[in-house]
């Protein structure tokens, strides 16, 4: 109903306003980069090795990572959290609900969160469906870390425009 929609909009607006303050010309840019807020990412994959290795690589790049083992767990967490992530990285093929369905549930509740889907094989994903569901990007799991970083940054920046 309306109260939940208003709450969701408020959460999205708070995140956008915070980003505007931190990137505004009036913000004290003399503060070191270590004092600036790090980007908060959710990594969702049912394979613990893939999830942990991706998370570690992104943590070394300065991202704050929260790991989830299923679509159900991340959706449940989002329904009860006060601070939204800057982006969510989802595996496509997971036990339980897949990445596309998880993305759909996230977008219904929190349209301001960009979703990036990773897959072992691009051929298994319906790209038209991904576009309809407003998935920010679909990438293969063997994506170069630098390319993934650029996609994440683009997703976060576009989300805060």
CB atoms within 10 A of CB 147: 11
SS3 145: helix
Q: What pLDDT was estimated at residue 34?
A: 45
Strands 40-44, 64-68: parallel, antiparallel or unpaired by DSSP?
parallel
pLDDT at position 132:
77
Q: pTM for the complete prediction?
A: 0.76
E strand or H helix at 6: helix 2-23
pLDDT in tens, 16-75: 444 444 444 444 443 334 444 578 999 999 999 999 999 999 999 889 999 999 999 999
C-alpha to C-alpha distance for 2 and 84, rounded to whole angstroms: 19
Sorting pLDDT into bands at 50, 70 and 90, what band is 141?
confident
């Amino acid at each position: 109903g309306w109260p939940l929609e208003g709450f969701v909009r408020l959460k999205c607006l708070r995140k956008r306003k915070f980003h505007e303050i931190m990137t505004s010309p009036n913000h004290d840019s003399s503060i070191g980069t270590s004092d600036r807020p790090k980007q908060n990412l959710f990594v969702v994959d049912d394979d613990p090795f893939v999830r942990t290795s991706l998370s570690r690589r992104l943590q070394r790049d300065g991202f704050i990572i929260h790991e989830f083992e299923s679509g159900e767990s991340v959706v449940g967490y989002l329904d009860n959290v006060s601070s939204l992530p800057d982006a969510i990285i989802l595996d496509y093929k997971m036990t339980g609900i897949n990445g596309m369905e998880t993305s759909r549930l996230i977008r219904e509740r929190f349209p301001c969160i960009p979703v990036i889907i990773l897959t072992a094989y691009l051929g298994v994903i319906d790209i038209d469906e991904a576009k309809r569901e407003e998935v920010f990007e679909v990438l293969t799991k063997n994506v170069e870390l630098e390319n993934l970083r650029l996609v994440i940054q683009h997703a976060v920046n576009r989300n805060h425009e």
